[in-house]
Amino acid sequence: ETGNGLLKLKGDSKSPYFILTAEISSIYSHNGKTRRIHNILLAPSIEVVEKIIVALEKRGAKLASDGRPIVGIPSKEVLKIVLEASEKCMLIPAHVWTPYFGLFGSMSGYDSVEECFEEMSEHIYALETGLSADPEMFWRIPKLDKYTLISSSDAHSLPRIGRECNVFDLEEDEVSYDEITRILKEGDRKKFKYTLEYYPEEGRYHYDGHADCDVSLHPKQTAKLPKNKKGQALCPKCGTPLTIGVFSRTEQLSEREDGYVPKNVIPGKHFVVLEEIIAAGFGKAVSSKKVQEEYVRMTDQAKEIDILLELSEEELGKITGEETVAAIMKMRSGKLDIVPGYDGKYGKVSLFEEVIKKKKQVQTLFE
Residues that bind Zn ion (CB under 5 A): 38, 94, 210, 213, 235, 237-238
CB of 211 to Zn ion, least distance (A): 8
CB of 201 to Zn ion, least distance (A): 20
CB of 52 to Zn ion, least distance (A): 18
> Of 217 and 298, which CB lies nearer to Zn ion in the complex structure?
217
CB of 241 to Zn ion, least distance (A): 9
> Of 102 and 281, which CB lies nearer to Zn ion in the complex structure?
102
Residue pair 171/196 in contact by the 8 Å Cβ criterion: no
CB of 219 to Zn ion, least distance (A): 17
Find, among 111, 108, 109, 130, the residue nearest to 255 by Cα.
111
CB of 12 to Zn ion, least distance (A): 29
> Of 233 and 291, which CB lies nearer to Zn ion in the complex structure?
233
CB of 115 to Zn ion, least distance (A): 20
Q: What is the 3-state secondary structure (H, E, C) of the chain?
A: CCCCCCECCCCCCCCCCECEEEEEEEEEEECCEEEEEEEEEEECCHHHHHHHHHHHHHCCCCHHHCCCCEECCCHHHHHHHHHHHCCCCEEEECCCCCCCCCCCCCCCCCCCHHHHHHHHHHHCCEEECCCCCCHHHHCCCHHHCCCEEECCCCCCCHHHCCCCEEEECCCHHHCCHHHHHHHHHHCCCCCEEEEEEECHHHCCCCEEEEHHHCEEECHHHHHCCCECCCCCEECCCCCCECECCHHHHHHHHCCCCCCCCCCCCCCEEEECCHHHHHHHHHCCCCCCHHHHHHHHHHHHHCCHHHHHHCCCHHHHHHHCCHHHHHHHHHHHHCCCCEECCECCECCEECHHHHHHHHHHHHHHHHC
> Of 62 and 237, which CB lies nearer to Zn ion in the complex structure?
237
> Of 51 and 210, which CB lies nearer to Zn ion in the complex structure?
210
- Give strand pairing partners of 217: 208
> Of 215 and 277, which CB lies nearer to Zn ion in the complex structure?
215
> Of 94 and 113, which CB lies nearer to Zn ion in the complex structure?
94
CB of 140 to Zn ion, least distance (A): 23
> Of 158 and 365, which CB lies nearer to Zn ion in the complex structure?
158
